[in-house]
Structure 1
């Protein structure tokens, strides 16, 4: 081999590990996190759109109002925070309204009226949700 080719081979062999181990680590880190953030934001938008669809079927006014506002604002951080805590509270407000409306029915039984009052006295979002979905059907009378 010619001396220039030998020198080139030695330099290429010496630089190869340095180029292979530094370039992908630098290039791969930023692209992966940006892609992950974008996918998470899209997943949150899809989740809130599904929540909005169910809320429209159930006529849950507070959830509809907040979900529409957040979808229009296009803020991934606010949407994530709402999915974590705000949705639960908005749903609890709609559940409370639904349960109070049940009290206005003059034909409900005394047992159901007592169960409604106990649920409203507790007032936790979980209790309200359980009563709306299941508890009202478990009351005898």
Structure 2
């Protein structure tokens, strides 16, 4: 056997188990999903701390690409300060402003 064939056979033998064991098994059935599911009744920001909501809005304000209308809406939500107003801005208001 030539040295190149021996090298290829050795490499294939070493890689085969790693490649075969790293792929998902289709015969095992559907695996449970690890994706986060948000119910229709809840929102992505339910249970989020008010300070975290303020930080998210402040990051939007710090972005130089933010429009003046979006800045005004973000400032209004921060001025209101209630968790409901902050959540509404992050979930709905920020998308309605630049429409």
Structure 1 CA distance for aligned equivalents of residues 59 and 87 of structure 2? 15
Higher relative contact order (CA 8 A, sep 6+): 2
> How far did 1:140 drift?
2.9
Structure 2 match to 1:99: 57
Counterpart among 113, 118, 121 of residue 76 in structure 2: 118
Q: SS of the residue aligned with 2:49?
A: helix
Number of residue pairs matched by the alignment: 58
Greater share of helix: 1
- Structure 2: unaligned runs, 5 residues or longer: 1-35, 38-43
- Structure 1: unaligned runs, 5 residues or longer: 1-52, 61-86
CA RMSD for the aligned pairs? 2.4
1:81-132 deviation per Cα after TM superposition (whole angstroms, max 9, x unaligned):
xxxxxx75x5322111100000111111110011111110000000001111
Q: Does 1:108 pair with 2:36?
A: no
Structure 2 match to 1:129: 87
